[in-house]
Amino acid sequence: GNSVTQMEGPVTLSEEAFLTINCTYTATGYPSLFWYVQYPGEGLQLLLKATKADDKGSNKGFEATYRKETTSFHLEKGSVQVSDSAVYFCALSGVYNFNKFYFGSGTKLNVKP
């Protein structure tokens, strides 16, 4: 079946540090992959996505590359800011039922000034 595994948090970094949040997936075929961000008290919003192998999604300084060989979609940012403090969710949409979405458990990021 389809599933997403994320590294457990919380992740605590100092401002301007490098961020990596690991995400691996299990799926049949080639799903679309997503990173969502949830700021305190808000709903999830799309951060970036990639729809085929070797695609790189990017937005607001965040990047993630769709790696089919390692079934991974790790989120990275070169220099985090306090305003990046949030919960990050990795997700995939099913290949044969592309309107079913599978979410990881979320990784909380705390950035200290």
Partner 1 sequence: NAGVTQTPKFRILKIGQSMTLQCTQDMNHNYMYWYRQDPGMGLKLIYYSVGAGITDKGEVPNGYNVSRSTTEDFPLRLELAAPSQTSVYFCASTPGGVNDEQYFGPGTRLTVT
Region from 11-19, 39-47, 60-68, 70-78 binding partner 1, contact rule CB under 8 A: 39-47
- 32 forms part of the interface with partner 1 (CB under 8 A): yes
Region from 20-28, 42-50, 66-74, 76-84 binding partner 1, contact rule CB under 8 A: 42-50
- 59 forms part of the interface with partner 1 (CB under 8 A): no
- 14 forms part of the interface with partner 1 (CB under 8 A): no
Of 12, 26, 28, 51, the one binding partner 1 (CB under 8 A) is 51
- 1 forms part of the interface with partner 1 (CB under 8 A): no
- Listed residue (51, 21, 24, 47) closest to 35, CA to CA: 47
For 14, 15, 83, 87, 91, the CA distances from 49, given in Å and listed in that order, are 26, 25, 21, 16, 9
- Rounded to whole angstroms, the Cα distance separating 9 from 92 reads 20
Is there a contact between 56 and 63 (Cβ–Cβ < 8 Å)? yes
Residues that bind partner 1 (CB under 8 A): 32, 34, 36, 42-46, 49, 51, 89, 93, 98-101, 103-106
